[in-house]
Structure 1
Amino acid sequence: MNFLQQAISKALLQLFDYEFTDNQVVLEQTKKEFEGHVTFVVFPFVRFTKKSPEQTATSIGEFLKETCEEVNDFNVIKGFLNIVLSDVYWLGVFENEIVKPNFGYLPANREKVMVEYSSPNTNKPLHLGHVRNNLLGYAVSEILKAAGFEVIKANLVNDRGIHICKSMLAWQKFGNGETPGSSGLKGDHLVGKYYVIFDQHYKQEIEVLKAAGKTEEEAKKQAPLILQAQEMLQKWESGNEQVMALWKNMNQWVYAGFDVTYRALGVNFDKTYYESNTYLLGKDIVAEGLEKGVFFKKDDGSVWIDLTADGLDEKLVQRADGTSVYITQDLGTAQLKYDEFKMQESIYVVGNEQDYHFKVLFLILEKLGKPWAKGMYHLSYGMVDLPTGKMKSREGTVVDADDLIQEMKQTAKEKTEALGKVDNFEEAEKERLFEMIGLGALKYFLLKVEPKKRLLFNPLESIDFQGNTGPFIQYTHARIKSVLAKADYSESTLDYDQNLNGTEVELLQLLSKYPEVLKISAKDHNPADIANYAYDLSKTYNKFYQTESILKVEDRSVKTFRLKLSKHTALTLKKSMGLLGIEMPERM
């Protein structure tokens, strides 16, 4: 709308002898209850025009109508100038922007961004919380790529620590040599099974110790299993061959299992970091911080930073025995990632329970004088609840991602078959469609809500062919493809001089907004902007489909235009949903 900003600036200069930059002229979309496409609010300018808001708006409107061929009409509501753009303008936008192959992709900006997501523990399978994490990370990455950024998708795997040793110890004591092959379980599920078994036996030992007179806290610390797990961790850190061999073997089981889940979710990574390789990093940064006076040493030899002046607290960055804490390795890993990729922005997709941790991490890096620290961003997201309540992984009641994916496919199958939508499909095509609908429903439901919000996920609600759901958008796409197939449509240059109907303009206006929605979504790291745009576009197309005849219209040029408009609506739906990792079926 630069032309309109320029025209309004010109009107202000010629009518009122005041010069304004185009950027000072802010345009809004006209509210649905008023006639018009674009609104200019004149209130901030009346002190210069020395006229009432209505007089100012009317004068500018008349100037635009006389001098701007793109302006067809206007109306004034108090100080709001509602501008009606001409059919010539909308057809020009269609032919010069919307139908171009690069529509919906912003120019490359030479900026590099790393998006770190997933970050699983290798002691259990991925669950519903991980699903939201992975889908957010993948979608943000794809949106940033479409917005012109070079993107590195990274995964930091938490493959060491006491929780890993718990699974290893339980398998060693109670596993009888069980493997993924012998058990028929995916490797991550098998290892997760022993994490649960450890917890069950650990609780029994605690109860025995409590019955013998120990307090709860004493019992937790003195239970034989936890002491053995701590001993195993010490052996791991000292490089004990047997422990290392067991660790590598069980981790390989988990990685193979994770890969299956990642493929099912449709997510991927360009770079994988392992905590076992990074946990010792950061010690050089601690030394650097001590030298710069950013950190200080207590009498026991432990190293801290005082952040109380910044409204936080004192934070331990290295234990008295010289070992790292989480913040230490995160400092080192941040430096490692920057040294390797030199990115302008580093995004961490991590749940909101870690909000404080990332405030501290970023602030420490700034205080250490790392110039790249300003580009660090925590994409904080809320927990996912189910109708049955909160998940608890240690008790074995977690909703595994694999089970959830399978349930979504099954629910999609039942609902689709009940509607009779696939009676003439081949079996393989049916199965592929059920997978598209099930995963599309899951992804859309989790991504249509702003990341920071906690949400309640109901699988049955997510698979609905009406309303703000993935299947509704997929069905709209399939409907358009059906129309185009029946018309045997092939695209050509449009020569169209008919008057546009209201729903046609509404659809063109919404299509034209897609690049701006993409830009905002990338800036805010918010896939919900794209998701809800796709829903609005689907609703608008269905309104157009119900209002205007497409296949049966007699005027050939009108039919050609409406088919072309339909085709590019389908393409925009496919592009926008593709950024969310959602596939669009050709027929449903």
Structure 2
Amino acid sequence: MANFIQQALVAQTTQAIKAIYGTEFPASQITLQETRKEFEGHITVVVFPVTRVSRKSPEQTGTDIGNWLQENMPDIAGFNVIKGFLNISLSDSYWIGVANQQLLDDKFGIYPSNGKKLMVEYSSPNTNKPLHLGHIRNNLLGYSVAEILKAYGYEVVKANLVNDRGIHICKSMLAWKKFGNGETPASTGLKGDHLVGKYYVVFDKAYKKEIEHLKAQGSSEEEAKRNAPLMQEAQRMLQRWEAGDAEVLELWKTMNGWVYAGFETTYRQLGVDFDKFYYESDTYLLGKDIIQEGLDKGVFFKKEDNSVWIDLTDEGLDQKLVLRGDGTSVYITQDLGTAQLKYDEFKMDESIYVVGNEQDYHFKVLFLILKKLGKPWADGLFHLSYGMVDLPSGKMKSREGTVVDADDLMNEMLETAKARTEELGKTEGLTEEEKAALYNIIGMGALKYFLLKVDPKKRLLFDPAESVDFQGHTGPFIQYTHARIKSVLRKASFNKETAVGNPERLSPYEQDLIQSLANYPLVLEASAAEFSPAQLANYAYEVAKLYNKFYHEETILKAEDEEVRNFRLHLSASAARVISESMRLLGIQVPERM
């Protein structure tokens, strides 16, 4: 529904109530909704609340208001009342006006700057292994939310906090040093992140062997894990790193460099980018000043061992350690410092952390501490929590047998897209280069759409084969619809200068499509407000479905009346524009031809 018709209906409904029942009725209590598909109409007025002033049944109240509105609003063509719901049908002339004025306006769906700055932090990989399936959902979600917020008028900073230090990084470094024989990405042909990940696995296997050996000699499980020579050596390497040992730092820089090159390749194929990188190696000592500030304010307290804590039991949580007794940081210490650093640098109004739901508790604590410390920007912090991604059993093998590698999954998507596209004969007349580009657009579109159409909070099951169905609730179906529209426009030699048509009447298929297209600004607003690409994804599918109904039921190119033909061509172009823009905000390309 377009905003202006909503506003007009609310205003006119309050006037109707005053005229019919002689009483003022607050506009805030007038509820409008889109008419349900099984009923005739476009906009529904919920009349139940009005019965307290009408003192009549919901049906009679709806009929009274409907009659008054039809007499006083020329855009209303008719109405029906179902129980307490007044379903209003708008006139063909109204929808023609929406199509020819609102949808063809160059500024349609474009929001001006709202003057606010927002940071979206996503990805946050570890530099000891490649990105995996969980990272794919994280990256796609973060990128899409950032693009939606930009489209809604925010200035957006895309940030990536890289976990590039710690014992897990030292495990890969130590294993490469002991067992690597000088291997490099160049000498092996492996992406740098895969090479480093390989040695993380090598460490784990060798470490488990040492644990079993020590247990066989009588050690307990915990003793064996603690005393295994490899683990002790990795811990000494971490201590040398923190002390600034030149040899360890050089190896760390070299191996991290390999990983970053690998990550960049993966990010490029995923189609995501960042404006700012933060590195844990630069931030892990931050936060200690904030701990002292909290002690001075009485927000934190010390225990006998000098460790610093906060008591959150009044908030339904527990006591939380914020600094160890030996003065070393825990994760929350660093996150407090990094939050302050980000705000000091960018002064953003809001900051969104895109992190899996296993960290829900951590972010509750982090945000609560910052509020208790009196940070004025703490109210603008939000944890965009998302669920795990599962694959059907046996559908894909992971490189190490535990997690599904992002590069492997993307490559499988391209192969699946290639097989399905060729099977359906959708590559006729394309060069090999054009085919390769099309397989990439379809494969990545299928992956992205399948992961983004589901509410972020929900756990989801991703089936690569199902995602490349050209007839289902999928990215390729929407992409194919866009290519179909572009084909129609090419055959008609359509361009912006094509005369705008003004038909005498519209079919229900045209009305439904226009109404759906006019909803685009409202869907974008809702997606931005709720940080939910799923709303926009499902909307794009709805538009594609409605266009296909219109395409199959109505003649476009061979319409006898030129006014009808031109109107339908411009309507088709509007549908292509809305689909293309919706998909762009999801990070998905749409092809011009298939």
Q: TM-score, normalised by structure 1?
A: 0.98
Please report how far the alpha carbon of residue 293 of structure 1 lies from its aligned counterpart in structure 2 after TM superposition: 0.6
* Aligned partner letter, 1:443: K
User: SS of the counterpart of 2:377?
Assistant: helix
Q: Output the CA distance in 2 between the equivalents of 1:30 and 1:7.
A: 18
Residue in structure 1 matching 2:508, options 499, 502, 505: 502
Residue in structure 2 matching 1:174, options 160, 179, 193: 179
Q: Output the CA distance in 2 between the equivalents of 1:490 and 1:259.
A: 39
The reply on whether 1:14 has 2:27 as its aligned counterpart is no
1:468 corresponds in structure 2 to 473
Please report how far the alpha carbon of residue 103 of structure 1 lies from its aligned counterpart in structure 2 after TM superposition: 1.7
1:520 corresponds in structure 2 to 526
2:587 corresponds in structure 1 to 581
Residue in structure 2 matching 1:424, options 400, 406, 429: 429
Please report how far the alpha carbon of residue 32 of structure 1 lies from its aligned counterpart in structure 2 after TM superposition: 1.2
TM-aligned CA distance change 1:345 to 1:260, over 3 Å: same
Preserved contact between residue 482 and residue 587 of structure 1 (Cα < 8 Å): yes
2:572 corresponds in structure 1 to 566
Greater displacement, 105-114 / 423-432 = 105-114
Q: Output the CA distance in 1 between the equivalents of 2:416 and 2:472.
A: 17
Q: Output the CA distance in 1 between the equivalents of 2:507 and 2:17.
A: 32
Q: Deviations over 1:10-51 (max 9, x none)?
A: 111222222234333211111111111011111101111222
Q: Deviations over 1:75-101 (max 9, x none)?
A: 112221110111121122222321122
Q: Output the CA distance in 1 between the equivalents of 2:295 and 2:282.
A: 24
Please report how far the alpha carbon of residue 391 of structure 1 lies from its aligned counterpart in structure 2 after TM superposition: 10
The reply on whether 1:2 has 2:2 as its aligned counterpart is no
Please report how far the alpha carbon of residue 106 of structure 1 lies from its aligned counterpart in structure 2 after TM superposition: 2.1
* Aligned partner letter, 1:175: G
User: SS of the counterpart of 1:281?
Assistant: coil
Residue in structure 1 matching 2:231, options 226, 233, 249: 226
Q: TM-score, normalised by structure 2?
A: 0.97
Q: Output the CA distance in 1 between the equivalents of 2:266 and 2:187.
A: 20
Q: Deviations over 1:286-307 (max 9, x none)?
A: 0000000110001011111111
Q: Output the CA distance in 1 between the equivalents of 2:105 and 2:438.
A: 29
Q: Output the CA distance in 2 between the equivalents of 1:346 and 1:332.
A: 15
* Aligned partner letter, 2:439: F
The reply on whether 1:96 has 2:101 as its aligned counterpart is yes
* Aligned partner letter, 2:214: L
Residue in structure 1 matching 2:462, options 454, 457, 460: 457
Q: Output the CA distance in 2 between the equivalents of 1:394 and 1:94.
A: 52
Q: Output the CA distance in 1 between the equivalents of 2:249 and 2:53.
A: 77
1:195 corresponds in structure 2 to 200
1:147 corresponds in structure 2 to 152
2:3 corresponds in structure 1 to none
Greater displacement, 390-399 / 97-106 = 390-399
The reply on whether 1:61 has 2:66 as its aligned counterpart is yes
* Aligned partner letter, 2:481: T
* Aligned partner letter, 2:454: V
User: SS of the counterpart of 1:260?
Assistant: helix
Structure-to-structure mapping, 1:219-298, within 5 angstroms:
219-298=224-303
The reply on whether 1:76 has 2:91 as its aligned counterpart is no
User: SS of the counterpart of 2:53?
Assistant: helix
Residue in structure 2 matching 1:208, options 202, 213, 220: 213
Preserved contact between residue 36 and residue 82 of structure 1 (Cα < 8 Å): yes
Preserved contact between residue 473 and residue 541 of structure 2 (Cα < 8 Å): yes
User: SS of the counterpart of 2:374?
Assistant: coil
Please report how far the alpha carbon of residue 399 of structure 1 lies from its aligned counterpart in structure 2 after TM superposition: 1.5
* Aligned partner letter, 1:526: S
Residue in structure 1 matching 2:552, options 546, 550, 554: 546
Q: Deviations over 1:384-422 (max 9, x none)?
A: 111127999995532211111111111101111111111
1:109 corresponds in structure 2 to 114
Q: Output the CA distance in 1 between the equivalents of 2:589 and 2:268.
A: 14
Q: Deviations over 1:128-152 (max 9, x none)?
A: 1100000000000011111111111
User: SS of the counterpart of 2:314?
Assistant: helix
TM-aligned CA distance change 1:543 to 1:514, over 3 Å: same
User: SS of the counterpart of 1:371?
Assistant: coil
User: SS of the counterpart of 2:543?
Assistant: helix
2:404 corresponds in structure 1 to 399
Please report how far the alpha carbon of residue 494 of structure 1 lies from its aligned counterpart in structure 2 after TM superposition: 2.2
Preserved contact between residue 330 and residue 361 of structure 1 (Cα < 8 Å): yes
Q: Output the CA distance in 1 between the equivalents of 2:26 and 2:499.
A: 37
2:414 corresponds in structure 1 to 409
Q: Output the CA distance in 1 between the equivalents of 2:563 and 2:70.
A: 28
Q: Output the CA distance in 2 between the equivalents of 1:106 and 1:562.
A: 26
* Aligned partner letter, 1:388: S
Greater displacement, 10-19 / 325-334 = 10-19
Q: Considering only aligned residues, what root-mean-square deviation do their CA atoms show, in Å?
A: 1.4
Q: Output the CA distance in 2 between the equivalents of 1:102 and 1:209.
A: 71
Name the count of aligned residue pairs.
588
Preserved contact between residue 355 and residue 380 of structure 1 (Cα < 8 Å): yes
1:480 corresponds in structure 2 to 485
Q: Output the CA distance in 2 between the equivalents of 1:261 and 1:587.
A: 26
1:557 corresponds in structure 2 to 563
Segments of 5+ residues of structure 1 without an aligned counterpart are none
Greater displacement, 76-85 / 246-255 = 76-85
TM-aligned CA distance change 1:207 to 1:277, over 3 Å: same
Please report how far the alpha carbon of residue 108 of structure 1 lies from its aligned counterpart in structure 2 after TM superposition: 1.7
Structure-to-structure mapping, 1:15-30, within 5 angstroms:
15-30=20-35
2:379 corresponds in structure 1 to 374
Greater displacement, 169-178 / 53-62 = 53-62
Preserved contact between residue 104 and residue 575 of structure 1 (Cα < 8 Å): no
2:368 corresponds in structure 1 to 363
Q: Deviations over 1:533-560 (max 9, x none)?
A: 0111111110111100111111111011
User: SS of the counterpart of 1:304?
Assistant: strand
Percent of aligned positions with the same letter in both sequences?
67
Residue in structure 2 matching 1:134, options 139, 146, 152: 139
Q: Output the CA distance in 2 between the equivalents of 1:78 and 1:380.
A: 40
* Aligned partner letter, 2:470: F
TM-aligned CA distance change 1:208 to 1:394, over 3 Å: farther
Greater displacement, 24-33 / 355-364 = 24-33
1:45 corresponds in structure 2 to 50
Please report how far the alpha carbon of residue 493 of structure 1 lies from its aligned counterpart in structure 2 after TM superposition: 4.9
Please report how far the alpha carbon of residue 325 of structure 1 lies from its aligned counterpart in structure 2 after TM superposition: 0.4
* Aligned partner letter, 1:18: T
Please report how far the alpha carbon of residue 55 of structure 1 lies from its aligned counterpart in structure 2 after TM superposition: 1.9
Q: Output the CA distance in 1 between the equivalents of 2:233 and 2:306.
A: 28
Preserved contact between residue 416 and residue 468 of structure 2 (Cα < 8 Å): yes
Q: Output the CA distance in 1 between the equivalents of 2:96 and 2:9.
A: 16
Residue in structure 1 matching 2:320, options 295, 305, 315: 315
TM-aligned CA distance change 1:394 to 1:445, over 3 Å: closer
